[in-house]
Amino acid sequence: MVEVSRHDIIIVGGGAAGLRAAIAAAEADPSASIALVSKVYPMRSHTVSAEGGAAGVAREDDNLEMHGQDTVKGSDFLGDQDVIQYFVEQAPKELALLENWGCPWSRNEDGSVATRAFGGMTVKRTWYAADKVGFHMLHTLFQHSMRFENIVRYDEYFVSKLLVEDGSCRGVAALDIRTGEMSAILGRAVILATGGAGKCFPFTTNGMIKTGDGMALAYRAGVPLKDMEFVQYHPTGLPGTGILITEATRGEGGHLKNSQGERFLVEYDYGVGQKAELGPRDMISRAIIREIEAGRGVSGSYGEHAHLDLTHLGEEKIMARLPMVRELCKIYVGVDPVSEPIPVRPVVHYMMGGVDTDIDAATTLPGLYAAGEVACVSLNGANRLGSNSLTECLVFGTKAGEKALEYARGAPAGSDDALRAQAEEESARIDALRGRKKGGEKIAAIRHEMNAAMEEGCGVFRHQDTMGAAVNTLVQLKGRVSDLRLEDDSKVFNTEVIAALELHNMLDVAESVAVSAHHRKESRGAHTCRDFEHRDDQNYLYHTLCYHDPSGPRLDKKEVTLGTWEPVERKY
């Protein structure tokens, strides 16, 4: 039996963007009821794993223009410049608010918030709380959200479908993981804040929960995914696990070295110039792979990698600024960065692409909003600068909360019965999937094959033929996934059926990535195609839109908003 509940706004996802949206809406209208639906308890959200910091102009030697310009250049001119301008204006205000709510930002001696250097940023503008910034931001937001009685949490509910009526989004069908029962959570507007989809790839900094759920929900509801080909490889992940070693290691003065002990970003020309280790992520990831290809990689039990050397920073600085990095290295690779270099290699970290939204966080489906990594508001373009994304969650989380509330005030509620009927249909679909013993395909097997195809086809360097092969593999896997075999027929906390739903989501998202990448015949930002080594503004200065279609993804174009900074060659 499907249970129906009603709210004004429904937020899907309890990470930084979702919590910030909830707080913004709850503050703006204490009488509005806000549902916060998340497949994990909010403090488990993957924001928790962000390490290095959040960008916002704070110092006297910095200004909004410079932050904007750095971001545009970092995006390889694919960022929308109106969005970037709005973002840099709001960033300091949002970060200060978080300070007011208790975030333990690291401090200068005068009691102001300290900032550190970060890749692709000309000035120290990254606010930090040692190297656990995401953790502290998430917990601050979650704890602050608890004071609002009008935020109603649905913890451990998995949203499997958007409920759309008369062309407007009016709720979600959510599976209560605890009971296995379907709920229809209805409202006048829905905000997606479910994060990225790193788990499409085998080697990623992302946690298990990052399966592109929100992207797939919107995609299947007819909303285009934008710029999906741009997948950020973070230069420094631990081999084997893919655990993130923050860019703050380089911001604090760490060096990248090859097997000869050379600082290869200084010794060879990789386009980062004087910035060296503080170059943008796409360029440094490419440099590491090129070093390995040139035979200057360091061999380890998980293949070739580079070295990240912090030994010259000294124990005191490492303990003050990078304590978690030290802890992670000791636990996961048995290396103490105080005395030894850290083995690192590029690792899938972030999706620049996502659900297409405008500057107001609104999607093309009335009543549906998106913010954070799930969305592509076009702040990051073809390559995101480190420490812009935590701030993005705040700036556009707030925007989504406010705009969704505004929209909800004028929108009709829709019919309970019609929406419940949709949820019941969804309930039946999941009942049929749960414990489906007649199938022949294993979840883990399809996941591994998808992972392998994505790594092969959509890595740091891409080729037309391997991208094409990835597309074909994904099409084939999408066929096979309809014949899954599930062993667990219990209703209570059945994580197998959730894994099956997540696998469906990942396949949809992975396909849109591969198809969009295969289409873009140039190299821009994180999309580096070896068959087309240069950026081609003549033919490809546009956003890729990818629409869901039963016969396969359909691509379209969207104009990039320029106007302030004209595209020039990207060189540091």
Q: Of 209 and 450, which has the nearer Cβ to another protein?
A: 209
Q: With binding defined as CB under 8 A, does residue 415 bind another protein?
A: no
Query: For the chain, how many helices (H) and strands (E)?
Result: 16, 24
Q: With binding defined as CB under 8 A, does residue 492 bind another protein?
A: yes
Of 241, 256, 259, the closest CA to residue 304 belongs to 259
Q: With binding defined as CB under 8 A, does residue 116 bind another protein?
A: no
**CB 475 within 8 Å of CB 552:** yes
Spot the catalytic one: 7, 125, 188, 234: 234
Question: Judged by CB under 8 A, how many residues of this single chain contact another protein?
Answer: 68
**Whole-number minimum distance, CB 279 to another protein, in Å?**
25
Sheet holding 182-186, edge to edge: 3-6, 182-186, 168-176, 157-165
- Phi/psi of residue 528, nearest 5 degrees: -115, 110
250 among known catalytic residues:
yes
Mark residues 119-158: x for contact with another protein by CB under 8 A, - for none.
-------------x--xx--x---xx-xxx------x---
- Phi/psi of residue 254, nearest 5 degrees: -70, 155
Q: With binding defined as CB under 8 A, does residue 552 bind another protein?
A: no
Which residues are within 8 A (CB) of 518 and not within 5 positions of it... i.e. 6 or more apart? 464, 467, 468, 470, 471
Of 285, 287, 280, 234, the closest CA to residue 265 belongs to 287
Q: With binding defined as CB under 8 A, does residue 66 bind another protein?
A: no
Of the candidate spans 207-215, 389-397, 507-515, 527-535, the one that interacts with another protein by CB under 8 A turns out to be 207-215
Mark residues 265-304: x for contact with another protein by CB under 8 A, - for none.
------------------------------------x---
Taking the C-alpha atoms of residue 348 and residue 230, their distance in angstroms, rounded to an integer, is 11
Q: With binding defined as CB under 8 A, does residue 440 bind another protein?
A: no
Q: Of 246 and 544, which has the nearer Cβ to another protein?
A: 246
Q: With binding defined as CB under 8 A, does residue 197 bind another protein?
A: no
Q: Of 338 and 555, which has the nearer Cβ to another protein?
A: 338
User: ∠147-160-136 over CA atoms, to 5°?
Assistant: 35
Of 236, 206, 454, 261, the closest CA to residue 345 belongs to 236
**CB 391 within 8 Å of CB 94:** yes
Mark residues 494-533: x for contact with another protein by CB under 8 A, - for none.
xxx--x----------------------------------
| Ranges within 76-115 binding another protein (CB under 8 A) | 92-93, 96-97, 99-102, 104-113
Q: Residue 293 carries which DSSP code? A: H
Q: Which residues sit opposite 232 in a β-bridge?
A: 350
Q: With binding defined as CB under 8 A, does residue 331 bind another protein?
A: yes
Of the candidate spans 184-192, 205-213, 464-472, 509-517, the one that interacts with another protein by CB under 8 A turns out to be 205-213
Using the rule CB under 8 A, which residue among 327, 425, 465, 556 binds another protein?
327
**Whole-number minimum distance, CB 519 to another protein, in Å?**
33
Q: Of 128 and 270, which has the nearer Cβ to another protein?
A: 128
Residues found in the chain: 572
Q: Which residues sit opposite 370 in a β-bridge?
A: 192
Taking the C-alpha atoms of residue 199 and residue 202, their distance in angstroms, rounded to an integer, is 7
**Whole-number minimum distance, CB 430 to another protein, in Å?**
16
Give just the sign of the alpha carbon dihedral 387, 389, 395, 397. Answer: negative
Largest pairwise CA distance in the chain: 69
Give just the sign of the alpha carbon dihedral 511, 516, 522, 528. Answer: negative
Mark residues 3-42: x for contact with another protein by CB under 8 A, - for none.
------------------------x--x---------xx-
Using the rule CB under 8 A, which residue among 332, 461, 542, 547 binds another protein?
332
Using the rule CB under 8 A, which residue among 178, 409, 530, 534 binds another protein?
178
Q: Of 207 and 222, which has the nearer Cβ to another protein?
A: 207
User: 3-class SS at 179?
Assistant: coil
Other C-beta atoms lying within 10 Å of the C-beta of residue 206: 24
- Token digits of residue 255: 């060096």
Which residues are within 8 A (CB) of 472 and not within 5 positions of it... i.e. 6 or more apart? none
Q: Of 432 and 492, which has the nearer Cβ to another protein?
A: 492
Spot the catalytic one: 44, 125, 250, 535: 250
Q: With binding defined as CB under 8 A, does residue 439 bind another protein?
A: no
- Phi/psi of residue 172, nearest 5 degrees: -135, 150
**Whole-number minimum distance, CB 43 to another protein, in Å?**
5
Q: Which residues sit opposite 344 in a β-bridge?
A: 306
504 among known catalytic residues:
no
Of 346, 121, 118, 350, the closest CA to residue 230 belongs to 350
Q: With binding defined as CB under 8 A, does residue 202 bind another protein?
A: no
**CB 108 within 8 Å of CB 116:** no
Q: Residue 484 carries which DSSP code? A: B
Q: With binding defined as CB under 8 A, does residue 461 bind another protein?
A: no
Catalytic machinery residues: 234, 250
Give residues in contact with another protein (CB under 8 A). 27, 30, 40-41, 43-46, 48-49, 58, 92-93, 96-97, 99-102, 104-113, 132, 135-136, 139, 143-144, 146-148, 155, 176, 178-179, 207-209, 240-241, 243-244, 301, 324, 327-328, 331-332, 443-444, 486-488, 490-496, 499
